[in-house]
């Protein structure tokens, strides 16, 4: 049967109108909403984190903010310490990693002379291997700190790390990597004349480290300064007048695969990460026993950072 030309024209017009009103491909039936809306997934980015709950929460913040901007994210969380993940960063296997300025600088350059947050950030940018950069650092810090119980501090009149030099046979609970850190045994001896025997506890200042201190298995513990457990347990973080521990502001390390829109989204988030907000994130995680994903989603919604 021969079709009349004007019917063909009407049919073609109708097909075009249907195509305009729907994102489905008229030939395959597949939906192309993402392509039409401009929300198609971008190149996949890999985000890593340390084996430390607070670091994983921050990594999850980055992941959810970027997913909200239509980036495809692969999570490689709870990797471990720098000896494990820094080579992965250098090899290009990880694109974004939340780090701490002073510690990473001393890992890369143990002779670094920087001391202020800005100086440390600048020196870190210069010390990073080719292909890696740092974005803006946050106000929030999570310092390695030498912590004792309130009872022990009162008994021995302790306010500063230097006061430990008057005591003998002291033990510290910390990750085993502490022995090789500039603020570990060598730094304590050089700056303060303090000797501490390591009792390895491999949970990055977490519940096991806290329990070792509270139970009396050790006299000192390396607990990070943004841990709510310090206040909750009336612990004393000893002062560090010689700045043995450099400023440890939160900072993202990124590869060349991270484009400008992604960097801008992360930097906006960094501006919101004050010390109080980091403590709030960590406290919510502990009080609610919430997963990093749930903690990050709660905070990002509260901050209005998700569209």
Print the domain residue range for 251.
45-141+247-303
Dihedral of alpha carbons 102, 104, 110, 111, sign: negative
- The whole-number pLDDT of residue 42 equals 67
Contact 257, 97 (CB under 8 A): no
Question: For strand 171-174 and strand 220-222, is the pairing parallel, antiparallel, or unpaired?
Answer: parallel
The model's pLDDT over 138-159, given as tens digits with 9 standing for 90+, comes to 999 999 999 999 999 999 999 9
266 and 224 in a common domain: no
How high is the mean pLDDT of the chain? 89
Q: Which of 237, 265, 285 is the last residue of a domain?
A: 237
219 and 89 in a common domain: no
17 is a domain residue: no
2 is a domain residue: no
> Nearest to residue 245, comparing CAs of 260, 225, 218?
225
Instruction: Report the predicted TM-score, pTM, of the whole model to 2 decimal places.
Output: 0.82
Residue 22, pLDDT > 90, answer no
Number of compact structural domains in the chain: 2
Lowest mean pLDDT among 20-29, 94-103, 194-203, 280-289: 20-29
> Nearest to residue 181, comparing CAs of 241, 100, 237?
100
Q: Which of 198, 217, 237 is the last residue of a domain?
A: 237
Mean per-residue pLDDT for 60-71? 97
1 is a domain residue: no
Contact 130, 237 (CB under 8 A): no
How far apart (Å, rounded) are the C-alpha atoms in residues 273 and 138?
6
- The whole-number pLDDT of residue 43 equals 75
The CATH number given to whatever domain includes residue 204 is: 3.40.190.120
The model's pLDDT over 160-211, given as tens digits with 9 standing for 90+, comes to 999 999 999 999 999 999 999 999 999 999 999 999 999 999 999 999 999 9
91 and 56 in a common domain: yes
Q: What DSSP designation does 69 have?
A: T
25 is a domain residue: no
14 is a domain residue: no
150 and 135 in a common domain: no
156 and 87 in a common domain: no
10 is a domain residue: no
Backbone angles phi, psi at 80, to 5 degrees: 135, -150
- Location of structure tokens 């400008």: 260
H or E segment to which residue 194 belongs: none
218 and 93 in a common domain: no
204 and 153 in a common domain: yes
How far apart (Å, rounded) are the C-alpha atoms in residues 189 and 196?
9
- The whole-number pLDDT of residue 187 equals 95
176 and 201 in a common domain: yes
- The whole-number pLDDT of residue 64 equals 98
291 compared with 23, residue with greater pLDDT: 291
The model's pLDDT over 106-141, given as tens digits with 9 standing for 90+, comes to 999 988 989 999 999 999 999 999 999 999 999 999
H or E segment to which residue 126 belongs: helix 117-127
Model confidence at 41, in pLDDT bands (50, 70, 90)? low
Mean per-residue pLDDT for 251-266? 97
263 and 137 in a common domain: yes
How far apart (Å, rounded) are the C-alpha atoms in residues 198 and 77?
27
Instruction: Kindly state the tokens that stand for 121.
Output: 């950030």
137 and 209 in a common domain: no
115 and 79 in a common domain: yes
The model's pLDDT over 42-53, given as tens digits with 9 standing for 90+, comes to 679 999 999 999
123 is a domain residue: yes
The CATH number given to whatever domain includes residue 102 is: 3.40.190.10
- The whole-number pLDDT of residue 276 equals 96
SS3 string, 247-292, reads: CCEEEEEEECCCCHHHHHHHHHHHHHCCHHHHHHHHHHHHHHCCCH
224 and 93 in a common domain: no
271-292 burial, b at 16+ Cβ within 10 Å, e below that, comes to: ebbebebbbbbbbbbbeeeeeb
How far apart (Å, rounded) are the C-alpha atoms in residues 244 and 177?
16
How far apart (Å, rounded) are the C-alpha atoms in residues 295 and 237?
26
Dihedral of alpha carbons 223, 228, 232, 234, sign: positive
The model's pLDDT over 237-258, given as tens digits with 9 standing for 90+, comes to 999 999 999 999 999 999 999 9
Q: Which of 237, 270, 288 is the last residue of a domain?
A: 237
32 is a domain residue: no
- The whole-number pLDDT of residue 183 equals 95
The model's pLDDT over 72-106, given as tens digits with 9 standing for 90+, comes to 999 999 998 899 999 999 999 999 999 999 999 99
How far apart (Å, rounded) are the C-alpha atoms in residues 73 and 134?
19
- The whole-number pLDDT of residue 161 equals 98
Lowest mean pLDDT among 23-32, 82-91, 98-107, 280-289: 23-32
Residue 61, pLDDT > 50, answer yes
CB atoms within 10 A of CB 16: 11
């Amino acid at each position: 049967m021969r079709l009349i030309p004007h019917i063909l024209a009407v049919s073609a017009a109708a097909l075009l109108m249907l195509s305009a009103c729907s994102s489905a491909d008229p030939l395959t039936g597949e939906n192309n909403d993402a392509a039409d809306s401009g929300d198609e997934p971008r190149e996949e980015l890999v985000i890593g984190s340390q084996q430390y709950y607070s670091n994983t929460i921050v990594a999850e913040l980055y992941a959810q903010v970027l997913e909200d901007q239509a980036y495809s994210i692969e999570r490689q969380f709870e990797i471990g310490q720098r000896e494990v993940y820094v080579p992965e960063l250098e090899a290009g296997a990880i694109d974004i990693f939340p780090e701490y300025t002073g510690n990473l600088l001393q890992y890369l350059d143990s002779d670094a002379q920087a001391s202020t947050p800005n100086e440390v950030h600048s020196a870190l940018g210069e010390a990073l291997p080719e292909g890696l950069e740092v974005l803006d650092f946050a106000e929030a810090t999570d310092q390695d700190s030498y912590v004792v119980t309130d009872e022990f501090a009162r008994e021995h009149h302790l306010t500063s790390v230097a006061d430990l030099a008057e005591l003998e046979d002291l033990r510290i609970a910390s990750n085993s990597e502490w022995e090789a850190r500039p603020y570990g045994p060598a730094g304590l001896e050089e700056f303060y004349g303090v000797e501490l025997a390591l009792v390895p506890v491999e949970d990055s200042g977490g519940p096991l480290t806290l329990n070792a201190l509270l139970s009396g298995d050790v006299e000192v513990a390396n607990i990070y300064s943004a841990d709510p457990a310090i206040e909750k347990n009336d612990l004393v973080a000893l002062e560090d007048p010689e700045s043995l521990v450099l400023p440890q502001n939160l900072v993202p390390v990124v590869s060349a695969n991270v484009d400008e829109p992604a960097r801008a989204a992360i930097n906006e988030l960094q501006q919101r990460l004050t010390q109080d907000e980091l403590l709030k994130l960590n406290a919510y995680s502990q009080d609610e026993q919430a997963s990093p994903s749930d903690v990050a989603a709660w905070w990002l919604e509260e901050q209005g950072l998700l569209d």
